[in-house]
Amino acid sequence: MSPKIERTVNKERIARPIFNITPFTLLDYPGKIACILWFAGCNMRCIYCYNPEIVMGKGKLFLDQAMVFIESRKHLIDGVVLSGGECTLHRDIIPLTRNIKDKGLDVKIDTNGALPERIDEMINQGLVDYIALDFKSLPKNFESITGSRLFDAFESTLQLLIQSKIAYEVRTTVHSDLISVDELKQMVKYLDTKGYKGKYYIQHFTNGKPTIGNINDGKPFKDLIQYSTKNIQIVERGF
């Protein structure tokens, strides 16, 4: 039987870490039917973030409430996506993912890569099956876009994933006021230099919701696929 997840309340933990649950998605976990647990809180403040209520808000659900929901859905879904906010901020993600895996479901995490030690722990314990890593920008614009100085941590996570056998993807949200085409080409070169091989997902910012930075929609880039390399295939999303 899976170990019970206790409701822990102290200064280091959010009593209700989960902001909301999306009960069904065919888009967020490649090749799988999944639900999404949205974790409150984040260690970045990305200008284009369209989930300010999640990033800067408080959770509404205990982890054991989420597990009751997952138990009720386990014969209808293949996996669970842990997103946010930043799901890896929560130490209880370890027992949570262990509970999910015990139910025979796969786990995907969406992460900014700022906690490589936590991600390494999850990989080593076999608690995660797929990772989507957000590549926000190169160092020169990283702080202005994310409101953080966590590029080195992201880089450590990237190297960890490249060296591991875990299934993962790298993705970037682009806004024409924040990242130019030239910088995007430099980002492709950076990934190539680091030894990344595979698909590089480029997501154009289009949104009608309030954002942390209160920015406009920007201008869509064109023909980004031409900047693919021998090892890196650019795939456009949301264009």
pLDDT in tens, 104-115: 999 999 999 999
CA distance 45 to 147: 5
Q: How many CB atoms lie within 10 A of CB 219?
A: 10
- CA-wise closest residue to 110 among 54, 72, 66: 54
- Both tokens of 91, joined, read 């130490």
Contact 204, 224 (CB under 8 A): no
- CA-wise closest residue to 21 among 39, 37, 45, 2: 37
Coil vs helix vs strand at 69: helix
This model's pTM is above 0.95:
no
Where the chain has pLDDT below 70, the residues are 1-14, 206-208, 238-239
Residue 81 has a pLDDT of 98
Residue 1 has a pLDDT of 37
**What are the C-alpha distances in Å from 217 to residues 141, 204, 214?**
19, 9, 10
CB-based contacts of 158: which residues, under 8 Å, 6+ apart?
A: 113, 133, 135, 170, 191, 194, 196
**E-assigned strand segments in 126-215:** 130-134, 167-174, 198-204
CA distance 158 to 134: 10
CA distance 71 to 67: 6
How buried is 112 (Cβ within 10 angstroms: 0-12 exposed, 13-18 middle, 19+ buried)?
buried
Residues in the chain: 239
Q: Across-strand partners of 111?
A: 133
Q: What counts of helices (H) and strands (E) characterise the chain?
A: 7, 8
Residue 6 has a pLDDT of 41
